[in-house]
Amino acid sequence: TQRVEGRALSRFEKITHRQAMISLYDAFSETDMRDWEKRNRNYLVSLPVQPEYYCELKLDGLAASLRYENGVLRLGATRGDGKTGEDVTANLKTIESIPLSLRVPTKQEIEVLGFSIQQAEKIKEIILHGSLEVRGEAIMTKDVFKMINTKYQAEGKALLANTRNAAAGSLRQLDPQIVAERKLVFYPYDLIFSDYRRSELLATRQQADALAALLGFKKLEHNRLCVTLDEVFALKNNWEKNKEKLPFFIDGLVVKFNDLKLWEQLGIVGKAPRYMMAYKFSAEQATTKVLDVVWQIGRTGALTPTAILEPVALGGVTVARSTLHNFDEIKRLDLRLGDTVIMERAGDVIPKVVSVLKELRTGEEKLITAPKHCPRCQQPIEKDKDEVAFRCVNKNCYAVALRRLIHFASKPAADIEGLGEKIVEQLVSASLLEDAADIYALRKEDLLLLDRFAEKKADNLIQAIAQRKNLELARFLFALGILHIGVESAQTIAQELKRSFTQTEISPLQLHQAAVVISLDQWQSLDDIGPIVAQSLYNFWQDEDTLLLMEKFNRHQLVLMLPATLKNNSLAGKSFVLTGSLSRLTRQEAKDRIKARGGQTRDSVSRQLDYLIVGENPGSKLKEAEKLGIKIISEDEFLKLLSQE
C-alpha cells in the first residue's frame, strides 16, 4: 500500500530539474575514444594528470531522477528534455529497488569507503536532514519482458515492442498499478548532495557508486575502474561478445573520468559533458528482403519512401520497415523490390538499409520508380528542380492536411497539450477539423460524442486549447507549416513583421495585412532568408487560401503576441558566425542572445561579417575568416561582449 497508490492520475505535472539532466556524446570506435582523450588532455594541459576511467554498463532504459528530503523519497521525475521532466513519483515508488526511505549508514561504513570523518558527518547529516538527488536508469529485464508478453498474448492484448520502450512506456502510465506489474529495476549513476559540488563530498565516481549501495540502491557489480583506455577497450570488447549473458540489454559502456574534481575542470560543451562518453557497441546488422516500398506524406506534401521488409530481429527489436529518406537514396543504393539487404540499427536505435547484396539477385527483382500520383488523393506529384523531394501539390489532400494539423499542435509550434497525433486523426475523421483554425472552434459537447472522450479528458483538451489562444507570433508562423520555414527563420520573420505595429498584440488578419504587402525582394533581404525561402513566403501570403485561413483564425479570436522590445541593443547592426563547440552555451542559446541584443547571425563567412566566434574544434570557417581579416573572438570574449550595456 505504500508503494502502489489506489487511484490513477489524470495527467502528469511538469517539474524543473534543479540541475539539467544532460545527454551524452557517442563514440563508436577506438579512434573516437582516443580523440576524446586527446581533446581532454589538451584542455587539461595545465593539470598534468593521468586520468582513470570508471566504466559503467550503458543500460537500455529510461533515465529518472529521485529527490530525497530528510531521507524520504519526495519526488521522482523523468528526464524530459533535460531541463523539464514529468512528476512520476507514484510510478517510481512501485519499483522495489528504489528505497522509499534511505538506509542510514554508520559513520564507520562511510569511512571504510575512503571518506574523512568530517565528510562522513556531512553525508550523514544530509541523509537525515537535507536534500539528496539520486539519478539513474529504470529498466525492464529480459525475463520480465518475456513473462509480460506471454501474459498479454494470452489475454489478447498488444505486445510490448522491446525492453527500452516498455520501461519508458511504463513510467508514463497514469495508473501505478499497471506500472507495478511491469516489475522495473532501478540502477543509480549519479548522486547530488544539496547545494554541494560533487567533489566537495565525493572524491571519485567509484566512491559515489559504493555509497549509493550503502544507501539501499542496487549496484551494478559489472562496473569497473580502468587505468588506461586500453583497459577500457578490453572491457568493451568483452561485453560486446558476452552481452547476451546479462539479464538485461545494454548497448555499450558509459566511460567517465573517475576523479570528480576533473568534472568541474572539464565542464560541459554544447549539449553534453566533456568528462564522460557513451562508448557504443558496433551497430548490429542483419539481412532481410525488401518486399515493397510505400510513400508517406509529410505536412508540406513531401513524399518519403519507406521500405517494407521481411521482419527481422535486430538489436532486441523486430524491424519490419525502414525509411529510405528520398528517391536519390534509392538510386544511390541501387535498391530494387525483392533485393536482399543488410540492415543496421544506427546507434542501436534507428534501423536503416546499409547496402544491397547484389550477388544474391535472382533476376526477379523489380526497379523502384518515382511516384507519379499521390498515394492518398491520386493527384499529380511534382518535383522541384532544386529539391530532392517529390511533393503532392493538392492543398486539400487528406494526408497533407492531417500532417499539417499535427504539426500545428506540436511542442515547438502552438504546443497544445493533449492534442497528439491520434487525437488529431480522430477529430479529422469525425469532420471536426479541416484546418488549424478549427482547433479553436472545438467545443466540449463535440468531444463527448467521440470514443474514449470522457468529461475530464474533454475538459482538459478544451482548457489546453484556450490557454493557447494567446500565441507568440514566432510560434504561430512556425505552426502554419510554411514550406522551408523553421523555428529560427520564424523568429527572424516575427522580428521583421513587428516593425509594422506599435502595439504588443495583433490579430491574424492584421498579420496578413502586414505580410501580404511585403515584396519578394524585401523577403529576400532579411537575414538568413535566401531566394527559395523568400519565394515560399511570398507565395504563401499571396495565396487567397491564406487570407481565408487568417479570417477564420480571427473569427475564433486568436491573439498573436509580438516579440518583446529589445532591452539591450548593444549588438545592433553587428553580424556573427559561430564555429566549433562552445562550453558554456549551446549554439542556439548563443544565437538567441545575439538576436536579443539586436545582432544578426549568419551561416557563412563573408567580407560583410563583423565577428567569428570560435569554440572548441573549429571548422574551415576559421581559415576563411583569417584570410578575409574578420575579427575572431573566443567564447570568453563573446560573453564579455554580451555583458556590455
Alpha-carbon dihedral angle through residues 307, 308, 314, 317, given to the nearest 10 degrees: 120
Q: What's the chain's length in residues? A: 645
How many whole angstroms separate alpha carbon 199 and alpha carbon 275?
14
| Residue 438 DSSP symbol | G
Using CB atoms within 10 Å of the CB of residue 30, give its burial: 0 to 12 exposed, 13 to 18 middle, 19+ buried: middle
Number of Cβ within 10 Å of residue 29's Cβ equals 12
Single-letter amino acid code for the residue at 74: R
CA distance 354 to 541: 42
Residue 12's alpha-carbon distances to 94, 172, 174, 180, 260, in angstroms, are: 16, 8, 8, 17, 34
Per the CB < 8 A criterion, the answer to whether 304 and 296 are in contact is yes
Cβ 174 vs Cβ 86: under 8 Å: no
Per-residue b or e along 415-454, where b marks 16 or more CB atoms closer than 10 Å to that residue's CB:
bbbebeeebbebbbeeebbeebbbbbebeeeebeeeeebe
Residue 594: name the closest of 573, 580, 614, 608 by CA: 573
Residues with a known catalytic role: 58
Could you give the CA distance from residue 351 to residue 458 in angstroms, rounded to a whole number?
Answer: 37
Count of CB atoms within 10 A of residue 133's CB?
18
Q: Which cell numbers in the block locate residue 300?
A: 508540406
